Structure 1
Amino acid sequence: MLDRIRLDKVVVVPDDALPLAGGYPTNNPNLNDRTVDLQWGFPNDASIGTFYGDHATRSSSNPFYYEASLLHELGHARYLVDVYGFNVHVSAGNRIDILENGAPIVGTPYMPYVNSWRDAVRYTPYTGLMNGNGPTVDRHSAVALNLIRGRRATLGNYNAPGNLGAYLNDLPAQNELTVRDASGAALPGASVRIYRAGPGEGWYAKVYDNTADMSLTADAAGKVLLGRCPFSATGGITHTNNHSNGVAIVRVQSGDRVGYGFIEATDFNLEYWRGRTALGRHELRVALRKQGSAVGSVDEHAPTERVSQPLVVKNEVSDLVGQ
């Protein structure tokens, strides 16, 4: 993290005065104040007194001393997005309608649940403040912040500014995906299908229908070219209420064996920020099973995983992309 943030100004206003210029009392305490880079309002509320009531204990569990949720919201005010929005759920307005042999893949070895509530099939690997689990900042958000280090707010100093998540569309002009089995062996000649996330209901909703949006054939090295943005027909990443298309489902078939995995736009961003603006390189490992075999007979019941290269964050990283 190349920038440092400090408390610059505290303005005390009469009770119930917020917001001073429209919006919400918390997110937008004063839309006319351009003297600070980040702002947040604390309205007069009966719950405030108890929430911030402990003025003495130095503990990360005491919000008067350290409030992770507040820093998360200020991350939005700087332009960071919710990283947890790249998780893939199958409830509350989210669906995966993909079929294998006429049956849904969700909850089978093709795409097992990853939590005990049986409502999620995939979690983003990026954990940190914008995933709701601070105090660390995930590397994707860290580099996004470094891209605009030392710069004043341009499209708003509140949650959410006009340039919220602008960096999500930093994608290499071409992207190469190598498909591998669970052991890491490349899959030459494999059939690769890409399923994009359509809109649903609720924040970061994703609906995947049973029609592949891209159908490709891997070369002798197990590689396929995905173009600039395999996540959207229009070439743009959407990450907002009722629709997040930043995660695509990948079906891989090699001979009579089939496996499923995921690709995430954040990995494409990291390739772009490494300086690979012309060609990004990615790998996807999938656990393969015989097509048409009984669900319970799978031998390779290993989770799908994405293999990414280490990211070195250098001081000049923000010069790679103009913001």
Structure 2
Amino acid sequence: MRDARLTDEPARMAALERYQVLDTPAEPAFDRITQLVRAILGVPICAVSLIDNDRQWFKSHPGLDVSETPRGVAFCDHTIRDRIPMIVNDASADLRFSANPLVTGDPNIRSYAGVPLSTADGYNIGSLCAIDTVPRMFDPAQIAILENLGGLVVEQLELRRIADRDHLSGALTRRAFLAEIDKQISLFQRHQRPASLLLLDIDHFKQVNDTHGHPAGDVVIRAVAERCRQLKRPSDMFGRLGGEEFALLMPEAGAQEAGAAAQRFCDAIAALDIPHAPPLRVTASFGIADIGPDRTSSGAWLAAADAALYAAKHGGRNRVAIAKSDGAQPD
């Protein structure tokens, strides 16, 4: 019988989305694998290719000058339809690919060996592929090596996913949150989609640690993080940037909408009775910056939100400040 997981596209996409890897920057762990494939198989091109709804996106792609292609021309889109490697010895003589623009033009693919990247629950989310610009045969030993390295790619994706969560708060780690910022910037650059970045800092947190001890500080961190998770939208990304500082990434939200959300968060945190003897009360300050042409790097966007956060702190704490897009002082 045909494996249903090879044709269940919604479930396959859900499996891919769990890794939160699309549109993230290059990472050495994946680049080492693709460079190893190039060296062992003697090919000029290797890629970790992931199949999105309508595109092929490369997590690592030494030898290729592009980071994505339409899904319709992707060799990898054929690879994910089976459990076994896909081998093309001469693409120009293969009816499936002879007219493919990746064959007739750059990068002039002639031979291809791809192994599916299969998740633990059995969904093929992409491939590890070796590509040459001349016709060639790939021997069984080379294919076995490619399959083993493909397994390492999936292991790296799993390790990456596990490492994305802060153990104390359950929020995204700083690294994982910055990756989400980079993805949102990429969406803005391609489609001009709005988004806002919200930074929040627990007021006078050092006093909590100094007066009640670090275990009490940990209780405060968990309580504030839990309240933020309860209030955020399903599409929002919540991260801990370090210490008592958190961040919320709000897709499809302008500065005013984010400001209204931040005020709800601010009021809810101030109303918390945090379990302790006696119960603890804290407040938080918020800085907001929406994305824009002058905020198309994670550093620039964070700096704008951080300036607004500083204004909220300087203005008396337990309040919200919104960065102006023209560089003027935040409201």
Same fold (TM over 0.5): no
RCO higher in structure (CA 8 A, sep ≥6): 1
- Using structure 2 for the length normalisation, give the TM-score: 0.23
- Greater C-alpha radius of gyration: 2
TM-score with structure 1 length normalisation? 0.23
Looking at secondary structure, tell me which structure has more helix per residue. 2
